[in-house]
């Protein structure tokens, strides 16, 4: 824990130094864009939303070379080569997201009060859970802007202790899929123990995993609670902060323990010109952290997630416009490892001695005002505390977007995906080592296409 914090402190110092340089970033002020409405300008009720029809095709490599009891899965397609959330095929059309909501100010009651309400009708890990698939409220909050420098937001909303690709509005996300580290480490699933609490340990493992049963939906980077935040503009500088207390439990359920999650965020941007909105020209840096407790297997465990990032954006919908983003994330406790086998159950490593980290770097370039090319590299190191259990996920994503206008675009992504067992010699039993490498070799590439319409 101390070692991780020292590492993060060094990165914080570097990012704060970058923030003092008058350049520009790939990061709008999402705290303000999603949590406030301009008094005297915003309407009492504004209908809005977006829809994202999506197609996936995954290289359907089948498992082969498995030995022992797992040999029964030879010839089957592993879960990571199937299309979620149902995991029934390797290529499928889907309405990934379909959201509609209202937002506005509480006029004529008090224009210093605003609200944000959004529902999800798409087919994804948030709308589908252990109790079936159904439309769900994905945002529902009220913001009170009565105290100068300390706005108060209450309800269900995106927590500030999240990476940029999680905090930003998904409707303007430049890729179809999240990075490995964000998807596996930050996009939290909640678990209870399965019928057999302790999972079979891997030969050579130095940690203990438990069979997990998913409870409820993924958190979609959200929590229910109260947040104090604000942003301060001084010339081109835009500095902001946020602190939140949330349940830290499955959404749409009351808290399942006496602990609360604490979220923090500091951010600073240098804005170029008079640009504004979700794709403004700016340069910025941010740091964030989440501290919480999770009740699992009859015990409470500490959980930490933290990260730091910076980026650049200039020239949206302009020839030669470009952007650049880089972010590092680290986590301790409640590290989950999904099963590659059809019908298999995930393994959860709850103690804060269990660690993982990852990072990504990405960029985009406008060839014309309509055509944009994207490139991203991301890496996730899972269970770095145990040589036998550690796995490394790396992905190169080639992307292209055709922007019909700011509210409509077509996106194509091709992901070169790789899974590696970095320390095979630490797996002391030969059959277990053979199976680990066989699973890693089955990871296939993924192609996806998506249309986005914002209204």
| Domain limits, the chain | 2-454
- CATH fold of 2-454, please? Porin (2.40.160)
Q: Look at the alpha carbons of 151, 157, 162, 168 in this order and tell me if their dihedral is positive or negative.
A: negative
Tokens of 361: 């770097």
- Strands (E) across 182-319 are located at 191-198, 210-214, 222-234, 237-246, 261-271, 282-296, 299-314
User: pLDDT-based confidence at 28, cuts 50/70/90?
Assistant: confident
pLDDT at res. 130:
52
Spatial distance between the Cα atoms of 169 and 450, rounded to a whole number of angstroms: 16
Contact assessment for residue 445 and residue 416, using Cβ atoms and an 8 Å cutoff: yes
Give the per-residue pLDDT at 261: 97
- For residue 46, the cross-strand partners are 103
Q: What is the pLDDT of residue 132?
A: 56
Q: What per-residue confidence (pLDDT) applies to 214?
A: 84
Spatial distance between the Cα atoms of 206 and 214, rounded to a whole number of angstroms:
24
CA distance 157 to 151: 15
Structure tokens at 353: 């001695």
pLDDT at 408 over 60: yes
Question: 261 in helix, strand or coil?
Answer: strand
Bridge partners of residue 102, in order along the sequence = 47, 117
Mean pLDDT, to the nearest integer, of 340-366? 95
Judge whether residue 357 has pLDDT over 80. Answer: yes
- pLDDT above 50 for 319: yes
Residue 27 pLDDT greater than 70, yes or no: no
In angstroms, rounded to a whole number, what is the distance separating the alpha carbons of residues 446 and 413? 8
* Token reading at 138: 């994905």
For the cut 60, the answer to whether the pLDDT of residue 23 exceeds it is no
The mean predicted confidence, pLDDT, of the chain is: 91
Query: Comparing 278 with 174, which gets the higher pLDDT?
Result: 174
15 has pLDDT over 80 = no
3-state DSSP call for residue 135? coil
Q: 25 falls in which pLDDT band (50, 70, 90)? A: very low
Contact 445, 436 (CB under 8 A): no
Please give the average per-residue pLDDT across 64-90, as a whole number.
96
Q: Each residue of 146-201: pLDDT tens digit?
A: 999 999 999 999 999 999 999 999 999 999 999 999 999 999 999 888 766 888 88
Mean pLDDT of all residues in 391-409: 98
For tokens 């008090």, the residue is 110
User: So what's the pLDDT on residue 195?
Assistant: 67
d(CA 292, CA 383): 19
Lowest mean pLDDT: which of 212-216, 245-249, 295-299? 212-216
Nearest to 85 by CA among 128, 131, 135: 128
DSSP code per residue over 35-102: H---TTTS-S-EEEEEEEEEEEEE--PPP-S--GGGGGGTTSPPGGGS-TTTT--SEEEEEEEEEEEE
Residue 233's DSSP bridge partners are 238
d(Cα 400, Cα 406) in Å, to the nearest integer?
A: 15
- Mean pLDDT (whole number) for 87-112: 95
Instruction: Give the pair of three-digit tokens for residue 171.
Output: 């409707």
């Amino acid at each position: 824990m101390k070692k991780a914090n020292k590492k993060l402190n060094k990165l914080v110092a570097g990012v704060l130094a970058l923030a003092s340089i008058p350049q520009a970033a790939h990061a709008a002020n999402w705290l303000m864009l999603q949590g406030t409405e301009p008094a005297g300008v915003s309407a009492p009720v504004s209908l809005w939303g977006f829809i994202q029809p999506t197609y996936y095709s995954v290289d359907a490599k089948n498992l082969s070379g498995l030995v022992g009891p797992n040999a029964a899965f030879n010839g089957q397609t592993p879960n990571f080569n199937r299309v979620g959330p149902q995991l029934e095929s390797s290529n499928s059309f889907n309405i990934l997201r379909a959201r509609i909501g209202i937002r506005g100010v509480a006029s004529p009651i008090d224009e210093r009060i605003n609200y944000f309400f959004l529902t999800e009708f798409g087919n994804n890990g948030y709308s589908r859970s252990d109790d079936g698939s159904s439309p769900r409220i994905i945002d529902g909050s009220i913001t009170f802007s009565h105290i100068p420098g300390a706005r108060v937001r209450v309800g269900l909303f995106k927590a500030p202790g999240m990476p940029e690709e999680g905090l930003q509005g998904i409707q303007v996300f430049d890729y179809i899929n999240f990075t490995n580290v964000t998807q596996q480490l930050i996009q939290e699933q909640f678990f209870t123990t399965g019928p057999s609490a302790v999972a079979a340990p891997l030969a050579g493992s130095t940690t203990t995993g438990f069979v997990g049963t998913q409870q409820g939906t993924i958190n979609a980077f959200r929590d229910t609670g109260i947040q104090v935040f604000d942003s301060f503009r001084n010339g081109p500088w835009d500095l902001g902060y946020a602190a939140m207390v949330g349940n830290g439990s499955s959404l749409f359920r009351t808290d399942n323990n006496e602990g609360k999650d604490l979220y923090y965020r500091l951010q600073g941007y240098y804005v170029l010109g008079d640009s504004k909105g979700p794709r403004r020209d700016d340069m910025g840096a941010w740091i964030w952290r989440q501290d919480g407790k999770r009740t699992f297997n009859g015990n409470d465990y500490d959980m930490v997630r933290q990260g730091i990032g910076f980026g650049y954006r200039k020239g949206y919908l302009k020839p030669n416009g470009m952007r650049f983003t880089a972010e590092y994330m680290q986590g301790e406790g409640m590290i989950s490892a999904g099963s590659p086998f059809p019908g298999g159950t995930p393994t959860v490593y709850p103690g804060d001695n269990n660690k993982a980290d990852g990072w990504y770097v990405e960029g985009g370039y406008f060839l014309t005002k309509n055509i944009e090319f994207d490139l991203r590299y991301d890496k996730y190191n899972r269970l770095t505390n145990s040589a036998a259990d550690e796995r490394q996920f790396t992905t190169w994503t080639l992307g292209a977007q055709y922007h019909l206008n700011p509210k409509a675009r077509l996106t194509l992504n091709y992901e070169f995906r790789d899974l590696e067992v970095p320390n095979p010699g630490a797996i002391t039993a030969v059959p277990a080592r053979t199976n680990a490498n066989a699973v890693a070799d089955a990871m296939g590439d993924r192609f996806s296409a998506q249309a986005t319409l914002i209204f």
